[in-house]
Amino acid sequence: MEPSPGAQARRFALGEEEDEGLSRGVGSQRAGRVARDNGEPAREGAREALAGAEPDGREAEEATVVLPSRHWSRRSSDRGAPPQRELSRETWPVRHVPEDTARSGRHGVREATEELSLTPGAAGGAPVAGPPRVQEQPPRLSPETAGLAGEAPLAGAQTRGESDAPALLAELRRERFTGGLRVAASGAPERRLWWSEGQVIGGASSAPGESVLGRLAARGLLSPTHLELAARWGTGDPRRDVERLAQSGLIKPQEMREALREPVRRIVERIAESGSVAWGLYPGEAPAVAVELGVPLAAMIAGGVQRGATLSQLRVAVNDDRKPRLAFAGPEALAAELRWPAVGAVTERFDGQTRVGELIAAAVADEAVIRGVVYVLELLGHLAPEIDDPAATLTALDRQRVRERLRLARESDYFALLGLPREASRADVLRAHADLTATFCESLEPDSRVELAEEIEELLAALDEARDVLSDDALHSAYLAQIGAS
């Protein structure tokens, strides 16, 4: 059975007292005054205030929520103020919703995300100075999102530009960028990502639905009542807030890690879906709390293209005459990395000779899927350079290799032919012979084998002779004496 709001308030109060050792929690004004004047623990004040709760678990009407006092404990101007007066100003009845919040319908959800707050005094923000009246309290912004809300778009960026969002993310990944990225798109909230060596390690957004609490609520992990309670008690530090949610029984302990990293993944995905964006780079910036996303960045870029790119955009990006060929990874490995099963079936046909238009006509997959796969693999560097005339080009390359190695066989010694130093061992000789035989026998193009048949035969015979001489100890010694005397 879900704990009542009164029980949750009790857990928050007791958990705060245990962590900070300060007098705060849930209680009436009288309980708070006694706790402050007489030094009683906040636990006792909370229990006394809650003793009058109704049997069914509902709080008495006089029960109030007291914001954690650490939010204003550093304010120098309040140090001389009477404790009682300060406490009474900061109380908020449990069942009371401020008039302006009731009109907005947000029920205590903040205007902006609390994502990955920087340490106090870090770039982009400062410690909270002190609490205004709770009913008039503006949304508490983390230092990162405070910058998003208060600065002109892309203010202070070292480098600026405008690009397709998937291409931008792929480029930063490829260049192993470290620092901050701020992205602004028409009609979209402003978002930030922090990078380390080409991997995303943090994010922030001005959209309430992309905050830690917003994402927990969207995923059904926080009820509206619990969301309101958590929003009131939020500290602006997402890690601390998640710890308190778990301590209060509002989320499971095993959900804590995902609660921090899932919002960052959502921000990456939303950027990748955005199409053309204005962006600014801030090298050297870093979040106070770095997270490991648990999903490859390449997969999030691919997911953004699948959801955000239209067929007309993909037709512009991928020409029908494109002849894709995989560069390094195979179809199965790519499908696993991108978490896109269709990639395996589509890339099986990427032979460097079949055009995209022919793949579409053959109904290998849906047109949008085929073009999307080609576009994503091109962005991520998984496609080999396109060759206008593959057959002629590859045959020319074979021709150059065979004749260069044959020149060594005719003009140099066996060591140079095998690419070995003169102190090479018998095992080295056998390995070198096997490697070269595979290259000049198995790896040649069909046209090359026909055109260069005589030269290939001569070269293979020379390789066999070099192996036979250098792998025999007596012949090896005699050959060394011969070439040393010459």
User: Do the Cβ atoms of 259 and 252 come closer than 8 Å?
Assistant: no
Helices and strands of the chain, counted as H and E runs: 23, 7
Site of tokens 């949610």: 245
Q: Indicate the SS3 state at residue 354.
A: coil
Site of tokens 């406490």: 87
Radius of gyration of the chain (CA): 34
Residue 359: count of CB within 10 angstroms of its CB: 23
Structure tokens at 90: 């900061």
Mean pLDDT of the chain: 76
Spatial separation of the C-alpha atoms in residues 361 and 373, rounded to whole Å: 16
Residue 79: count of CB within 10 angstroms of its CB: 8
User: Do the Cβ atoms of 64 and 26 come closer than 8 Å?
Assistant: yes
Amino acid at 6: G
Structure tokens at 446: 């069909």
DSSP string, 10-47: HHHHHHHHHHH--S-SB--HHHHHHHHHH---HHHHHH
Q: Provide the pLDDT for residue 412.
A: 86
Residues of the chain with pLDDT > 70: what percent?
67
Residue 196: count of CB within 10 angstroms of its CB: 15
Q: What is the pLDDT of residues 351-370, one digit of tens each?
A: 888 999 999 999 989 999 99
Spatial separation of the C-alpha atoms in residues 36 and 18, rounded to whole Å: 16
Please state the pTM of the whole predicted model.
Answer: 0.61
Structure tokens at 345: 């079936």
Which range has highest mean pLDDT (5-19, 126-140, 149-163, 410-424)? 410-424
β-strands 159-164, 191-196 pairing: unpaired
The yes-or-no verdict on residue 269 having pLDDT over 70 is yes
Q: What is the pLDDT of residues 186-241, one digit of tens each?
A: 888 999 999 999 999 999 999 989 999 999 999 999 999 998 888 888 887 889 99
Q: Which CA distances in Å does 101 have to 65, 115, 130, 158, 297?
A: 17, 22, 21, 39, 38
